[in-house]
Amino acid sequence: MCGIVGAIAERNITAILLEGLKRLEYRGYDSAGLAVLDASGALRRLRRSGKVAELESAQREAELGGRLGIAHTRWATHGAPCERNAHPHFSGDDLAVVHNGIIENHEALRRQLKADGYVFSSDTDTEVIVHLLHQKLDELGDLTVALKAAVKALHGAYGLAVVSARQPDRILAARSGSPLVVGLGLGENFLASDQLALRQVTDRFMYLEEGDIAEIRRDSVQVWNQAGDAVNREVVQYHEGAEAADKGEFRHFMLKEIHEQPKVVQRTLEGRLAQDHVLIEAFGPTAAELFARVRNVQIVACGTSYHAGMVARYWIEELAGIPCQVEVASEFRYRKVVVQPDSLFVTISQSGETADTLAALRNAKAAGYLASLAICNVGTSSLVRESDLTLLTQAGPEIGVASTKAFTTQLVALMLLTLSLGRARGALAADVERELVDELRRLPTRLGEALAMDPTIEKVAENFAEKQHTLFLGRGEQYPVAMEGALKLKEISYIHAEAYPAGELKHGPLALVDSHMPVVTVAPNNELLEKLKSNLQEVRARGGELIVFADGSAGIEDGEGTVLVKMPHIHDALSPILYTVPLQLLSYHVAVLRGTDVDQPRNLAKSVTVE
């Protein structure tokens, strides 16, 4: 989604701004721009629709340089994606603002500012911020004081970066609902919406909190909290390998991330398993006592993370014996919810900044849940900071827009949660836990075996290259795996794909099945296998073409109208994690065959920080 970068230094900072924007490209955007204070003290702006590369070549031509500047990649919410609507937005010729988020009262503010004589040159909600700030700056004379006054009038979400030619010794930042991080250098400082943008220049970061305003000068950073008090924010040293933003030997980030799964699953397990049980303390010092009280679990998430929650529902009810509901955050947040007594509220998110999931968590806080738990991949995210308990997935930065390794590590984390809840509630037999802990230890090896099937799956992908529609089937905990398979295929290959619980086929979707409709099925050898086989017969009888990923012992035959891909054997409970891998590879190869932009599919953004 939108990205912010800012820099103040004694050297030319345009290359730093552009490199930062490129590092944020993976989030999705439609235009980019920057504003730099040049040697004559004038604030100069460049904006382009399309890729950051367009902005970069415009910058080369314009030979724009300076020691203070802000930059932005935009993903349109208010106003079409075009140069006129791209950030930075100016008021007069000496004040520039970039903004992530949405200003909800922008119409009222726009009316008022127009009445005061301001002329608008874009359709964005952001432009009201810069004119409002300009008005306050004229009134109050100091940029920092003016920003503190201006944000009081803003309703909605924002991460803001501001520069002005009137006070060229500072960048100002304000955070409410949209993350911002200050990067600390030696005699130079930086600002970004994600530390990844600044990893080239520093490894020391200060995360702004909700309501914070920061004044970033070349050699100092001052922060005020929501109440206006000066505060110190902790400085964190970042250790994650900078290599994450590099594709290495792989053609796409998505393929690299699929192949990282054995390693990151291993990392997600590290330090969380004792010899024969899960260490409940991994969820926090109060988790053991809290989990013993849990009588109900409510999971809330979006997209792929929601699918992880759907799998967990089967696990939590079966292995921990606790009722569990799962809902997409965009619905949950606007619904009047009846909270069961002693309910644990669980959010799942790769980014930890998804607007709907965060809003659901904030609502839940007032609704009387026992506690909130975040399963998240970003330790510094808003979701983690605002939850009572956290279990971090250790997937490392995920650059491909289509989520892969984040999903499988979420499933591992949710299995750890299931086993912890089961033991804390006394519902899980010790030998079952021991067996599953052993299986979890073997999981990275099993995932490696599934990845070794890549050449086979690449061939299977040829069946899809010309197709327009596909059905994905699964039963039990494989139904959400089918949903995730369908989501991956539609996201990156643009083939229409739908998932159904296989038993539901005869209640409607069977009408769609003919020889042009491949039907993908995941079939581990579990107690639902015989029923699933009958569902597959229903498809074959209508001329449907089956692609079945099945356990070698499932007794499903390759042959006329059925392509069988034999999977390594795996414990039933962990099969959703393993069976996800071939579906990821299938989508990837189909997308490559169709020539789509695999890592940045059209219309999508990596981190959906707006509603």
Rule CB under 6 A: which residues touch ligand F6R?
302-305, 349-351, 354, 357, 402-403, 487, 491, 607-608
Identify the burial level of 472 via C-beta atoms within 10 angstroms of its C-beta, where 0-12 means exposed, 13-18 middle and 19 or more buried.
Answer: buried
Residue 397 preceded by cis peptide, ω within 30: no
The phi and psi torsions of 396 (rounded to 5 degrees) equal: 75, 170
Identify the burial level of 559 via C-beta atoms within 10 angstroms of its C-beta, where 0-12 means exposed, 13-18 middle and 19 or more buried.
Answer: exposed
In the complex, minimum distance from the CB of residue 63 to ligand F6R, in angstroms, rounded to a whole number: 39
* 606 included as an active-site residue: yes
8, 170 Cβ separation under 8 angstroms: yes
Residue 127: how many other CB atoms lie within 10 Å: 27
309, 415 Cβ separation under 8 angstroms: no
- Tell me the residue number closest to ligand F6R, measured at CB: 303
* 2 included as an active-site residue: yes
Which C-beta is closer to ligand F6R: that of 316 or that of 402? 402
What are the CA-CA distances from residue 475 to residues 18, 482, 520, 555, 587 (Å)? 48, 9, 12, 17, 20
Residue type, 26: Y
Which C-beta is closer to ligand F6R: that of 329 or that of 536? 329
Please give, one letter per residue, the 3-state secondary structure of 529-559: HHHHHHHHHHHHHCCCEEEEEEEHHHCCCCE
**Rounded-to-integer distance, Cα 581 and Cα 258, Å:** 7
In the complex, minimum distance from the CB of residue 357 to ligand F6R, in angstroms, rounded to a whole number: 5
The single residue of 51, 467, 488, 606 carrying the catalytic annotation is 606
Q: Which residues contact 544 (CB under 8 A, 6 or more apart)?
A: 513, 514, 515, 517, 518, 519, 561
Which C-beta is closer to ligand F6R: that of 191 or that of 361? 361
In the complex, minimum distance from the CB of residue 216 to ligand F6R, in angstroms, rounded to a whole number: 27
For tokens 């539609």, the residue is 490
Which C-beta is closer to ligand F6R: that of 113 or that of 348? 348
Residue 398: how many other CB atoms lie within 10 Å: 27
The tokens describing 299, both together, are 């999971």
Beta strands 89-91 and 68-74 are unpaired
Which C-beta is closer to ligand F6R: that of 56 or that of 356? 356
CA angle 486, 27, 7 (to 5 degrees): 170
The strand pairing partners of 223, in sequence order, are 214, 231
In the complex, minimum distance from the CB of residue 349 to ligand F6R, in angstroms, rounded to a whole number: 3
Closest by CA to 583, choosing from 476, 422, 472, is: 472
Q: In whole angstroms, how large is the CA radius of gyration of the chain?
A: 26
Which C-beta is closer to ligand F6R: that of 300 or that of 447? 300
* DSSP state, residue 411: H
Closest by CA to 393, choosing from 491, 301, 296, 292, is: 301
**Rounded-to-integer distance, Cα 532 and Cα 331, Å:** 31
Which C-beta is closer to ligand F6R: that of 566 or that of 594? 594
Which C-beta is closer to ligand F6R: that of 420 or that of 607? 607
In the complex, minimum distance from the CB of residue 306 to ligand F6R, in angstroms, rounded to a whole number: 7
The tokens describing 29, both together, are 């955007």
In the complex, minimum distance from the CB of residue 30 to ligand F6R, in angstroms, rounded to a whole number: 17
Which C-beta is closer to ligand F6R: that of 55 or that of 192? 192
Helix (H, G, I), strand (E, B) or coil at 471: strand
In the complex, minimum distance from the CB of residue 303 to ligand F6R, in angstroms, rounded to a whole number: 2
The tokens describing 572, both together, are 């039933």
In the complex, minimum distance from the CB of residue 607 to ligand F6R, in angstroms, rounded to a whole number: 6
**Rounded-to-integer distance, Cα 243 and Cα 254, Å:** 15
The distance from CA 531 to its chain's CA centroid, rounded to whole angstroms, is: 36
The single residue of 2, 302, 324, 376 carrying the catalytic annotation is 2
328, 302 Cβ separation under 8 angstroms: yes
In the complex, minimum distance from the CB of residue 302 to ligand F6R, in angstroms, rounded to a whole number: 4
Helix (H, G, I), strand (E, B) or coil at 496: strand
In the complex, minimum distance from the CB of residue 253 to ligand F6R, in angstroms, rounded to a whole number: 13
Which are the catalytic amino acids?
2, 606
